[in-house]
Amino acid sequence: MRSSHVSRLDRSISAIGQGCWQIGADWGDVASETAQEILAAAADAGVTFFDTADVYGDGRSERAVGAFLAQRRDAGITVATKMGRRADPHTPDAYNLDNYRRWTDRSRDNLGVDTLDLVQLHCPPEEVLNNPQTYDDLRTLTQEGRIARWGVSVETSAQALRALDEPDLATIQIILNIFRRKPLDEVVPRANAAGVGIIARVPLASGLLSGKYSEATTFAENDHRTFNRDGKAFDIGETFAGVPYEVGVEAAREVALLTPEGWTTAQMSLAWIVAVGAGTVIPGASRPQQARDNAAAGAIESLDDATLAALKAIYEERIAPHVAERW
Ligand SMILES: NC(=O)c1ccc[n+]([C@@H]2O[C@H](COP(=O)([O-])OP(=O)(O)OC[C@H]3O[C@@H](n4cnc5c(N)ncnc54)[C@H](OP(=O)(O)O)[C@@H]3O)[C@@H](O)[C@H]2O)c1
- 116-152 residue pLDDT tens: 999 999 999 999 999 999 999 999 999 999 999 999 9
Say if residue 301's pLDDT is above 90: no
- 8 A C-beta contact, residue 314 and residue 255: yes
- Cα of 21 from ligand 1 centre, angstroms: 8
Domains identified in the chain and CATH numbers: 3-214+247-323 (3.20.20.100)
For ligand 1, mutation pick of 290, 292, 293 (most atoms within 8 Å of CB): 290
Q: Look at residue 87 in the predicted model and tell me its pLDDT.
A: 97
Q: How many residues does the chain have?
A: 327
Beta-carbon contacts of residue 100 (< 8 Å; ≥ 6 apart):
83, 137, 138, 141
- 41-57 residue pLDDT tens: 999 999 999 999 999 99
- 206-235 residue pLDDT tens: 999 999 999 999 999 999 999 999 999 999
CB atoms within 10 A of CB 262: 7
* 111 φψ region: left (φ > 0), alpha (ψ -120 to 50), beta (else): alpha
Q: Whose CA is nearest to atom 15 of ligand 1?
A: 284
- Cα of 144 from ligand 1 centre, angstroms: 33
Q: Who wins on pLDDT, 299 or 315? A: 315
Q: Whose CA is nearest to atom 31 of ligand 1?
A: 290
Confidence of residue 302 (pLDDT cuts 50, 70, 90): confident
Residues within 6 Å of ligand 1 by CB: 19-22, 27, 51, 82, 122-123, 153, 173, 201-207, 210, 212, 238, 264, 266, 282-286, 290, 293-294
CB atoms within 10 A of CB 196: 26
Say if residue 277's pLDDT is above 90: no
Burial 151-168 (b: 16+ CB within 10 A, else e): bbbbbbbebbbebbebee
